[in-house]
Amino acid sequence: MRRQRWILAALVALLLLCPCLRPKAEGPLVVTFLDVGQGDCEWLRAPDGQDIVIDGGVEAEGPNVLSYLQSHGVTDIEVMVLSHPDGDHVGGLVTLLQNMPVALVVHNGQTSTSAVYQRFADAIQARAIPTLVVRAGQTLSWGPVSATVINPVDPLLPATNDNSVTLRVSYGDVDFLFPGDISSAAESALLGRGTNIEAEVLKVAHHGSKYSSSDPFLAAVQPHVAVIEVGANSYGHPAPESISRLQRAGATVYRTDIDDTVTITTNGVTWTVTTQSQPAIPCVGDANGNGVVDVFDLVIVTRAYNPTGIVSDVRADINRDGVVNLFDLVLVAASYGCRGSTPQPTLVPTAMPTATPTPMPSATATEPPAGNIEATAWVSNPVPSQYTTMTVYGKITRGGAGVPGVPMHTTWHYRTTTPYCDGVSNSDGVASCSRYISGATKGYYVQIDVTFSYQGQSYTASTGFRPQ
């Protein structure tokens, strides 16, 4: 009896410690690296809706930043961070201060004699906006997101770049590092202080300058994703040697001069990267859920490959169409190397396809009754949540009676690699097929066109859903 109680207690303790049972945080943290040409500007939308802006690019970019934020639903800024007073960081903030309520300005206390810095200071003063001078060790938090200031320290360093306010922002297991324009001098000072700078996502320091992003620094950061905020310039930014150091450290490098605005969305466990120039390649091929699409995923899909049968390993059914076939292999191959995959679906076996054999065409087959041929369509749930499996149904009737054995093709109108799934009508004239809707955006209506091909003619119907 005593022994059983011990086992029970140990089991309960184990369950409580298991991260799988901890309540999941609600929304994502979305971090956007705005393309502001040569300059820095990052916008964070915390899961609780707070908006944080770090730097604003040059002054001429201010109106662009303002309209980008407004078009993405930003009406006020909870925290504005100025990394350091250089024009390519402070400039665009002036327009924001003049056109949006800002609750707090965080900075390192250093000022500049430049006219644009003066306009920044004047805008703050005119609106009596509270300011906060920060030093390493201070923390800020936005709901479930925490930000630790890890630079500068007193006494400040001689180069203003090296005193950039540097934030390490953490949401669950995913960390972002925003080191402003610090050089290798400040990087080695950080390392010397033993600061934890590990981060999945790195805003590359000083626009990819060769005097930043040193090997020891990158070895400690271990970035998976590196974003360089850079535009046309005469400083040689980004330096090829910096880019190769980042790549050697294992990072996938994005550049705002090539990729335009880069957005990283994370649920605190995994993340996805979207770029304005190339919104493609969703990270859908991560069959084993280890956060990177690699050879192990290929092995899982290859082992379960069975295009004519039912799914034996649901992880391998990447597109959730109920069979493990060539399309799943293509999806893995297409997102190979992609880090930060789509959250894994719960491993619930896909519904078994009904074992209704397609009626054999034969001379004696009874002809369906004559009459109007009609197609109708509906979905399993018109308001599903994201990352669920959706089933679309089509029905083909002739003179009101279901027509069996008719192939159905469906096209799903949203951004995905294989926007279709197919089925065949059963004895009631009903066909169905399912898709895992990872990439469908909340609030946007996804139309599904259903086409039956019957006796050389196409019969179409439409339905759809709106992810909530």
Write out the residues near Zn ion by the rule CB under 5 A: 88, 181
Could you tell me the smallest distance in angstroms from the CB atom of residue 198 to Zn ion? 24
- Cβ atoms of residues 286 and 328 within 8 Å: no
Cα dihedral across residues 321, 324, 327, 329: positive or negative? positive
On the 0-12 / 13-18 / 19+ scale of CB atoms within 10 A, 153 is middle
Of 55 and 78, CB closest to Zn ion: 55
Of 230 and 292, CB closest to Zn ion: 230
Of 84 and 224, CB closest to Zn ion: 84
Of 181 and 200, CB closest to Zn ion: 181
Could you tell me the smallest distance in angstroms from the CB atom of residue 8 to Zn ion? 59
Could you tell me the smallest distance in angstroms from the CB atom of residue 468 to Zn ion? 41
Of 181 and 187, CB closest to Zn ion: 181
Could you tell me the smallest distance in angstroms from the CB atom of residue 181 to Zn ion? 4
Q: φ and ψ at 253, to 5 degrees? A: -100, 125
> Peptide bond before 152: cis, by omega within 30 degrees of 0?
yes
Could you tell me the smallest distance in angstroms from the CB atom of residue 116 to Zn ion? 13
Of 88 and 257, CB closest to Zn ion: 88
Could you tell me the smallest distance in angstroms from the CB atom of residue 262 to Zn ion? 17
Of 38 and 434, CB closest to Zn ion: 38
DSSP state of 155: S
Could you tell me the smallest distance in angstroms from the CB atom of residue 247 to Zn ion? 22
Of 235 and 445, CB closest to Zn ion: 235
> Peptide bond before 345: cis, by omega within 30 degrees of 0?
no
Of 181 and 286, CB closest to Zn ion: 181
Could you tell me the smallest distance in angstroms from the CB atom of residue 85 to Zn ion? 11
- Cβ atoms of residues 212 and 237 within 8 Å: no
- DSSP structure string for 52-94: EEE---SGGGHHHHHHHHHHTT---BSEEE-SS--HHHHTTHH
d(CA 205, CA 224) in angstroms, rounded, equals 15
The separation between the first and the last C-alpha atoms of the chain, rounded to the nearest angstrom, is 49
Cα dihedral across residues 226, 284, 74, 61: positive or negative? positive
The DSSP H or E segment spanning 430 is strand 430-436
Which stretches of 76-177 are DSSP H helices?
87-90, 93-99, 115-126
Q: What amino acid is encoded at 433 in this protein? A: C
The angle at the Cα of 79, spanning 77 to 85, to the nearest 5 degrees, equals: 110
Of 149 and 205, CB closest to Zn ion: 205
* Longest CA span, the chain: 94
d(CA 197, CA 219) in angstroms, rounded, equals 10
Could you tell me the smallest distance in angstroms from the CB atom of residue 36 to Zn ion? 11
- DSSP structure string for 300-366: HHHHH-BTTS--S-GGG-TT-SSSB-HHHHHHHHHTTT-BSPPPPPP-PPPPPPP--PPPPP-TTPP
d(CA 33, CA 258) in angstroms, rounded, equals 13
Could you tell me the smallest distance in angstroms from the CB atom of residue 276 to Zn ion? 21
Could you tell me the smallest distance in angstroms from the CB atom of residue 100 to Zn ion? 23
Of 212 and 416, CB closest to Zn ion: 212
